[in-house]
Amino acid sequence: HQIKILGFNEIEKNKLNPNKGKVTIKVTSGLDWFNTDLEVRYGGQKASLRQLHKSVKNGNKYVTLDDGTLGMLPAEWIKKMAAYFEAGEIDEEIIRTPFINFSSVQALYERAMLRDEVQQQIELYSSKLAGFENIETVVSPEGLHAELRHYQQQGLNWLNFLDEFNFGGCLADDMGLGKTIQVIAFMLLLRQKRGPQTHLVVVPTSIIFNWQQELEKFAPSLKVLTIHGANRVKNNHSFNEYDVVLTSYGMLLSNIHFMKSYHFSYIFLDESQAIKNPDSQRYKASRLLQSKNKIVLTGTPIENNTFDLYGQLSFACPGLLGNQQYFKDIYSQPIDKFGDTKRAIELQQKINPFILRRTKKQVATELPEKTEMIIYCEMGTEQRKVYDAYEKEFRNYLLHQPEEDLPRESMHVLQGLTKLRQICNSPALLKDDAFYGDTAAKIEVLLEQIESKHRHHKILVFSQFVGMLELIRNELTAKYIPFEWLTGHTKNRAAAVNTFQNNDDIRVFLISLKA
C-alpha cells in the first residue's frame, strides 16, 4: 500500500481556513450608545458579525467566513464575545451598547480598545453616578403648591440628575413617603426647563383618583387628560393640548393601538410591579410606548425574587440588564437559587445609580406619626344607576313633606343616608329582592390594593357593615387569599387576633366596627 501525503490546501472538500484568526476591536461613542466594531479576520477573509453571533450563541467552535470556509474560534474568544453580545444589540456590523450600561463596557473592553471620548464619557458617568454628594440641588419649581420634605427634595434632585444624562430610573421609596408629589414636582421642573410637553402617567385603577386629586392639589397649573371609565378617547390627536395624560393599566391595553404612536416626554408607571412579568400583556404593551425617558415607581421593587427587577428596569432603563436570558443566567438564578453573594454585589453596584429607595425608618425624623392616604373610588355604571335612583326617591320624599313635619322625619333621613352609604359600599347590601350585580367599586379597589401590596404587609379592613365584610370574605375565599375574621359573633377573639399576628400566611384581618 502507498501512503500519499497531502498538504493542508490539497485535501479535497476541506473547508477549514488555514490562517490564524485576528481580532480587532474599536469602541466609539454614538448618539445614545457605544458602538463596538468587532472585526475577526482569517487571512483575507472576514467573519460577519451575524455569523460570529450565531456561532457564539450555539457554542460552535467554528465560524463561517465570507468565502464559505470555516475559521476556528478559540474557547477564550467565544467566552469574551458572548459577553460583548449580551451587553448590547447587533445593528448591521456594529454592537450597540446603551450609555446606561457603561459599567459593562468598562469591565469588558481593554483600555486600548476604547477611543479617548469613550474613556472620558465612562469616567464622567462613573464619577457623577457614584453617590448623592455629586448631585446638584435644584430650586423647588414654580407652580408647586407644597413644601417638599428634605428627602423628597433629594428625590427631585435625583430625578433631575438622571434627566441631565437622559437616563431612566426607579423611584422605590416605601409606601406613604410621597413618590407622587416628587414626580409632580419633577413634571413642573421639566416644564420650567423645556417649556410645554406631554407626559404619560399609568397607574392601577384603584389609585387613579388619588393622582387626580394630588395633581389638582399640588400642581393646579398642569392640564390633565384622564382616560378612564366613561371618559374615553379614540385617538391621540388632543394629547399635545395637555401636560399630563393619566390612565390605568387596563385602559392602556385597550388603547395601545393609538397610544404607541405618540411620542411622550416622560412616561411614569406607578405600582410598576404590575409589569414585573416580561411575558405579561401589560409589560408588552408598555414596551410599545415611545418617550424621551421613563421612570417607574414602586414601594416593592422585589416582591418574590430578583427577576422581579428585570421587567421594571428593562422598561425604565433599556439595555442596563442585558437580555432576559442573560439576566436569568448571570444574576437572578445564581442569587436566588444558590445565594451567590458575588453576583448580588455586582448587580447591586450595576443598578445602584438608577434606583432610589428610602424606607420609613431612614426618614423617620421627617415624617408625621402616621401616614394617611385616602383612596377615592368611582362607582361603575350599574352601581351609579342604583345610587341615583335611591337618591332621587329619597329627595322626592323629603320635598313632598310639609315643612313643619321635617323635624319628625329625622329617623327617615338617617335610614335614607344609611341606605345610600350601603349602596356606595355595594348595592348587594340592600335588603330587597332585586339583584344589582356582583360588582362594587370599593371591593374592586380593595382587592387590587391587597393583591398589589408586598406579602409581608399586614392589612386591617374595618367596616360598620358586617354584610360588607361578608362580601369581601367571599372574594378573598374565591382568590385563595388567607384571612382572619372578627365580628360581634366571634366567640374566641383572642385566638383570631393571635392567628393574624403570628401566622405570616394570613395578611388580611376583616374586623367589624361593632365587634
Query: Computed from CA positions of residues 439, 445, 450, 454, in that sequence, does the dihedral angle turn out positive or negative?
Result: positive
Distance CA 374, CA 406 (A): 34
Question: Which residue in this structure is represented by grid cell 344607576?
Answer: 385
Say if residue 187 is in the same domain as residue 150.
Answer: yes
Split into its structural domains, the chain has a count of 4
User: pLDDT value at position 437?
Assistant: 64
Tell me how far apart the alpha carbons of residues 390 and 490 are, in angstroms, rounded to a whole number: 33
- Tell me whether residue 17 is exposed, middle or buried, using C-beta atoms within 10 angstroms of its C-beta: 0 to 12, 13 to 18, 19 or more: buried
Cell representation of residue 16: 477549514
Tens-digit pLDDT string for the chain (515 aa): 556 554 445 444 568 888 999 999 999 998 888 999 999 999 999 999 999 999 999 989 999 999 999 999 999 999 999 989 988 888 888 999 999 989 889 988 999 999 999 999 998 888 887 766 678 899 999 999 999 999 999 999 999 999 988 999 999 998 888 999 999 999 999 999 999 999 999 998 878 888 998 999 999 999 999 998 777 888 999 999 999 999 999 999 999 999 999 999 999 999 999 999 999 999 999 999 999 999 999 988 887 888 989 999 999 999 888 888 888 888 999 998 888 899 999 888 888 889 999 888 887 676 666 667 788 888 888 888 888 888 888 888 877 777 766 666 667 778 888 888 888 888 888 876 666 666 788 888 888 888 877 666 788 888 888 888 888 899 899 888 898 888 878 888 778 888 888 888 888 999 887 76
Confidence at residue 192, expressed as pLDDT on a 0 to 100 scale = 95
Q: Among 197, 201, 124, 116, which Cα is nearest to 164's?
A: 124
Q: Are residues 81 and 149 part of one domain?
A: no
pLDDT the model gives residue 41? 95
> Please, how many CA atoms are within 13 Å of residue 186, restricted to the half-sphere of its CB?
29
**Residues 303, 165 share a domain:** yes
Place of cell 322625619: 409
Would 273 be classed as within a structural domain?
Answer: yes
CB crowding 356-384: b at 16 or more within 10 Å, else e:
bebeeeebeeebeeeeeeeeebbbeeebe
Q: Mark whether 430 and 491 lie in a shared domain.
A: no
Q: What is the pLDDT of residues 23-40, one digit of tens each?
A: 999 999 988 889 999 999
> Is 371 inside a domain boundary?
no
Question: What range defines the domain where residue 485 resides?
Answer: 440-515
Rounded to whole angstroms, how far apart are CA atoms 152 and 143? 16
Give the torsion through C-alpha atoms of 353, 359, 365, 371, to 10 deg: 130
Same domain, 475 and 347: no
| Residues 384, 356 share a domain | no
Identify which of 174, 170, 173 has the alpha carbon closest to the alpha carbon of residue 352.
170
* pLDDT at position 113: 93
Same domain, 353 and 402: no
Q: Does residue 5 lie within any of the structural domains?
A: no
Question: Which domain CATH number covers 178?
Answer: 3.40.50.10810
Q: What is the CATH number of the domain that holds 450?
A: 3.40.50.300
Same domain? 345 vs 356: yes
Domain check: are 356 and 398 in the same one? no
pLDDT tens per residue, range 246-264: 999 999 999 999 999 999 9
